[in-house]
Amino acid sequence: MSPHKSRARDRYEPVDGLLLLDKPAGMTSNQALQRVRRLLAARKAGHTGSLDPAATGMLPLCFGEATKVCGFLLDADKTYRVTARLGEATDTGDATGQLVAERPVQALTAAEWREILAGFVGESRQIPPMYSALKKDGKRLYELARQGQTVERAPRRIRIDAIDLLEAAGKRLVLRVRCSKGTYIRTLVEDIAEAAGTVAHTARLHRESVGDFDAVDMQGMASVEAQAAASRSALRAGLLPADRALSGLAAVTLTAADIAGFRQGRQIELDDGHETGLVRVYGPNAEFVGVGELAGGRALSPRRVFGNAVVI
């Protein structure tokens, strides 16, 4: 390794915690992650649930020990505010693409729109768009799409919990969508438009929440940059603890002796009265030590083990 690369790596330090970024438009999720990582000088970093470059909103960034919760956040439900442009379809399904079709837009009442939207609530199978990061034979679908290719995509099971009509005026349709992971909002917009007898594309997309996180804890990139310029240590101190990402899980507190066994990967036997499934695990001093899985309400097996501290 060259001295230059060694010095660059030495500038990064162990930093643990979560930051909920309000990702700006025009930036990929990885570009946003790397910018914040440099501001924190964090050695290890990851993000959960990519947003399209044109989209804005909540992008949970995980640093250090908190990267161990990335997989749990990937599975979390999401909420989006989407603005659709009716009557105009693009090849990408959003405003960055080329216009490929136009159709008249019927004048529908709010009640008629709500009836159409209700038909999309529940479980269904959705065909992913060609302009997506999914892979086919080792290549990203969007790479194939840019070459003019269209390949068969297997439908994926998704769940729509609610679609709220916020506005319907002329060619403008604004919705709030609460859905499962893996839901492509651009495809949903196109399917809704088809049910209404027209075409559409996603003009704006903003993710409002991921799992139990909501907008109140989000920070814009300009705010993060200003905090880093004023005090990097204060920015680090303001990171959220990793267990905030797991607040939907039940909590179990272990003795010091059981914590030692848990960290060594041993199964811990608990008293009766616990529910089966994933749980947050804490030590006697309320320190978060990891995620375990309970079988039969008693046998606790380690699934993710954390260090003694979660936030620096």
* pLDDT, mean of residues 80-105: 95
- Evaluate if pTM is beyond 0.85: yes
* CA trace torsion 124, 161, 178, 154 (10° rounding): -10
The CATH classification of domain 3-75+213-242, taken from the options 3.30.2350.10, 3.40.50.2300, 3.40.50.720, 1.10.8.640:
3.30.2350.10
Lowest mean pLDDT: which of 29-43, 105-119, 141-155?
Answer: 141-155
The pLDDT > 70 percentage for the chain reads: 90
Instruction: Tell me how far CA of residue 93 lies from CA of 21, 69, 90, 229, in angstroms.
Output: 25, 31, 5, 38
pLDDT tier at 137, thresholds 50, 70, 90? low
- Going by C-beta distance under 8 Å and a sequence separation of 6 or more, which residues neighbour residue 134? 128, 140, 141, 153
Dist CA 298 CA 273 (whole Å)? 8
Residue 242 near residue 68, CB atoms below 8 Å: yes
* pLDDT, mean of residues 109-137: 87
Instruction: Tell me how far CA of residue 197 lies from CA of 90, 106, 107, in angstroms.
Output: 16, 7, 11
Dist CA 100 CA 148 (whole Å)? 13
Indicate the average pLDDT of the chain: 89
| Active-site annotation holder among 10, 16, 22, 52 | 52
Per-residue pLDDT at 309 exceeds 50: no
Listed residue (59, 142, 139) closest to 97, CA to CA: 142
* pLDDT, mean of residues 185-206: 97
Q: Answer yes or no: 52 catalytic.
A: yes
The CATH classification of domain 249-305, taken from the options 3.40.50.2300, 1.10.8.60, 2.30.130.10, 3.40.50.300:
2.30.130.10
* pLDDT, mean of residues 128-146: 71
Query: Please, how many CA atoms are within 13 Å of residue 2, restricted to the half-sphere of its CB?
Result: 3
Query: For 229-243, what is each residue's pLDDT tens digit?
Result: 999 999 999 999 999
